[in-house]
Amino acid sequence: MADADRVVLTVPALGEFARTVRMTAAELASRAGMDIEGIEDVRLAVEEAFVFASEHIMGPNVTFTFDVGAGFVVLEVGPLLPSCDDDGPDRGERYSRYILESICDEFELVSDDDSCHIRLVKRTV
């Protein structure tokens, strides 16, 4: 997306860092001009993406790349194991996917031979 600022945040894949990522996401959604509902959607999306990533993480850290512009936030989360797009039986994972598909304008699992990542897009209404 054109005219976007990029913010990259790499944190240990530990639950205690979820708040750091949520707070960063909320601030960036605010900068994108989102209302309180949009900001909360972005916060929830980041939290669910963190949960999903924790199940498929390749290493000790997870990277959140935010592209932020007027009216939108694009988030990519990874690197994840190449099998992240498999339909697993895990109920929590299915729930996270359902939430992400419901609150984001776009949700995609992108994979190649080496890794996978989550791509989310949220726009202002």
Range of the domain at 40: 5-123
Residue 90 has pLDDT above 70, yes or no: no
Mean pLDDT of 59-77: 95
pLDDT of residue 89: 52
Distance between CA 46 and CA 64 in Å, rounded? Answer: 9
Distance between CA 109 and CA 76 in Å, rounded? Answer: 10
Mean pLDDT of 4-32: 95
Q: Which CATH number covers residue 56?
A: 3.30.565.10
The domain tally of the chain equals 1
Q: Which of 58, 66, 76 is nearest to 25 (CA)?
A: 66
Instruction: Dump the DSSP string for 11-62.
Output: EESSGGGHHHHHHHHHHHHHHTT--HHHHHHHHHHHHHHHHHHHHHBSSSEE
pLDDT of residue 73: 97
- Looking at residue 82, its amino acid is P
